[in-house]
């Protein structure tokens, strides 16, 4: 059974068109029903709920994962939730697992679920070196900076490019990277894993690419750049420049940092159980015991067409993903791109959660009117990509099923803190915060608060040109598991 909407498709010749006004009216009713819990939280900022605030955090800043949120935000939430040592914390969309590492620092047990190898690579690195003395790691870094040991190698580990990453490096960088990777392959663990991570973490800086929302953006100096291209990413570091910069940044944390940074490193050791499940969150959630989780702090992919398999293509290629692997990853991710197909979750998600999730989805008037509006826009030739209807349908269906799974594993009184953005398509502001909170209330939670950042998110230039500017809410939802 594919988890598509269990609703009849609009017969646009016989049914009244789903107008923008109709859809906005349903949105207005839903937002009114949550008006008493929607609250601007001036403690929050875009920096706090993104990776930016990690730039001052030792270890957390070693790998730039733009889609992650910050350690200070997790600490703020733990304080608000009055989390206790020994609690079980879950992040089902873990990224680089800031939630789980902060939980461990505070003596809590943590479970991280992550599908993309990009995040898993950094999580596994941090776990492998968690008890390695900082001075020993500093010695590895000094060997790289002072001795340039890879230059003595005669063999290379070739970078297995994907179609999307071909010509990402200059010939000189390609050679240096290959020599370095051969050198790291001869090292003992955990030095091997750490030194390999160093080159993995600088791929963007030494390439002709920049991560840019839905895709990789190519500098005009790249052999594959379109003739007349104007994008200039600025200085493209040589391999040695990029490696030295990364080594020195980490050394500043390990040996030359402020007392505050050194304290961060000391407290960053793992003080609780840490379980990483690499794979689909739908499968992983079924492995958790019912009523076993005290707290969830997470941020699922947004319904915004961003394709992480494209933006992190260099890192995925480095880790050995081939073209088939990329396609499989893209389809396994929560549906947030126009290329996602409907998932078949029968036999993966338990029948009860699947049925309850689909029911919550089908009973939600706002999402049904939203899909009806988008279907009519598609039929009228007004969508800039017809896959948007399928994406929005898949995203909210899958999130409803996921929330049903969350309800099963949460203890009564346990809380979920979820970071997400609202979105806009063809002039319709889609209140993701209220829709998901309505799903949650239908599935065994009470929505305590929807924290709204003081400054919202703008729209794409195309949306503003056609429909005007509308500031979209960026929020943190707080749900509490009720007693059945």
Instruction: Please report the sign of the dihedral spanned by the C-alpha atoms of residue 463, residue 400, residue 6, residue 288.
Output: positive
Q: How many CA atoms lie within 13 A of 11 on its CB side?
A: 4
Is the pTM of the predicted complex or chain greater than 0.85? Answer: yes
Q: Taking the mean position of all CA atoms in its chain, how far away is CA 404? A: 20
Rounded-to-10 torsion of CA 292, 476, 480, 435: -110
Identify the CA nearest to 177 among candidates 193, 194, 201.
201
Quote the pLDDT of residue 212: 84
Average pLDDT for the chain: 89
Quote the pLDDT of residue 469: 53
CA distance 447 to 437: 6
Question: 444 near 433, Cβ under 8 Å?
Answer: no
Query: Is the pLDDT at 15 greater than 60, yes or no?
Result: no
CA distance 98 to 112: 10
**Angle at CA of residue 397, ends 392 and 399, nearest 5°:** 95
Identify the CA nearest to 328 among candidates 314, 343, 338, 315.
343
Query: Is the pLDDT at 177 greater than 90, yes or no?
Result: yes
Residue 457: pLDDT band (50, 70, 90) is low
DSSP for 41-98, written as a single string: -TT--TTTTSGGGGGGSTTTTSS--TTS--HHHHHHHHHHHT--TT-EEEETT-TTTH
Quote the pLDDT of residue 12: 38
Residue 463: pLDDT band (50, 70, 90) is very low
Rg (CA), the chain: 23
Strand partners for 419: 476
How do residues 238-280 score in pLDDT, each as one tens digit?
Answer: 999 999 999 999 998 887 554 454 455 555 555 779 999 999 9
Element (DSSP H or E) covering residue 351: helix 351-362
Query: Is the pLDDT at 227 greater than 90, yes or no?
Result: no
How do residues 86-111 score in pLDDT, each as one tens digit?
Answer: 999 999 999 999 999 999 989 999 99
Beta strand residue intervals within 138-201, DSSP E: none
CA distance 297 to 434: 18
Query: Is the pLDDT at 415 greater than 50, yes or no?
Result: yes
* Mean local confidence (pLDDT), 65-74: 90
């Amino acid at each position: 059974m594919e988890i598509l909407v269990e609703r009849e498709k609009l017969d646009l010749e016989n049914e009244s068109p789903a107008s923008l006004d109709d859809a906005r009216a349903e949105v207005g009713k839903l937002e009114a029903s949550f008006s008493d819990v929607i609250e601007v939280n001036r403690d929050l900022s875009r920096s706090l709920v993104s990776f930016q605030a990690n730039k001052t955090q030792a270890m957390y800043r070693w790998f730039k994962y733009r889609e992650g949120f910050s350690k200070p935000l997790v600490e703020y939430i733990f304080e608000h939730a009055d989390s206790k040592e020994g609690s079980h914390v879950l992040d089902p969309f873990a990224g680089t697992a800031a939630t789980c590492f902060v939980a461990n620092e505070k003596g809590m047990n943590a479970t991280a679920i992550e599908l993309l190898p990009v995040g898993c690579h950094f999580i596994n690195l941090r776990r492998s070196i968690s008890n390695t003395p900082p001075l020993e790691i500093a010695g590895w870094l000094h060997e790289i900076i002072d001795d340039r040991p890879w230059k003595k190698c005669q063999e290379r580990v070739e970078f297995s490019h994907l179609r999307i990453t071909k010509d990402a490096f200059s010939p000189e960088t390609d050679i240096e990277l290959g020599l370095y990777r051969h050198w790291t392959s001869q090292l003992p663990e955990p030095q091997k894993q750490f030194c390999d991570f160093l080159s993995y973490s600088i791929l963007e800086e030494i390439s002709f690419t920049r991560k840019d929302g839905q895709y990789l953006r190519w500098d005009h100096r790249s052999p594959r750049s379109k003739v007349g291209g104007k994008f200039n990413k600025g200085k493209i570091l040589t391999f040695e420049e990029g490696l030295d910069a990364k080594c020195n940044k980490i050394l500043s944390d390990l040996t030359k940092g402020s007392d505050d940074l050194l304290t961060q490193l000391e407290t960053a050791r793992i003080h609780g159980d840490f379980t990483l499940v690499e794979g689909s969150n739908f499968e992983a959630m079924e492995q958790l015991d019912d009523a076993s989780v005290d707290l969830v702090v997470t941020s699922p992919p947004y319904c915004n067409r961003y394709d992480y398999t494209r933006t992190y293509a260099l890192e995925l290629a480095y880790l050995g993903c081939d073209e088939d692997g990329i396609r499989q990853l893209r389809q396994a991710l929560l549906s947030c791109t126009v290329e996602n197909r409907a998932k078949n979750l029968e036999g993966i998600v338990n029948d009860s959660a699947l049925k309850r999730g689909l029911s919550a989805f089908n009973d939600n008037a706002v999402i049904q009117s939203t899909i009806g509006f988008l279907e009519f826009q598609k039929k009228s030739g007004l969508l800039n990509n017809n896959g948007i209807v399928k994406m929005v349908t898949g995203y909210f269906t899958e999130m409803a099923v996921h929330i049903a799974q969350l309800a099963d594993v949460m203890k009564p009184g346990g809380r979920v803190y979820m970071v997400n953005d609202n979105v806009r398509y063809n002039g319709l502001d889609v209140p993701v915060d209220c829709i998901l909170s309505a799903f949650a209330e239908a599935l065994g939670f009470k929505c305590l608060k929807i924290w709204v950042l003081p400054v919202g998110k703008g729209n794409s230039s195309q949306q503003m040109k056609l429909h005007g500017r509308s500031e979209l809410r960026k929020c943190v939802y707080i749900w509490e598991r009720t007693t059945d």
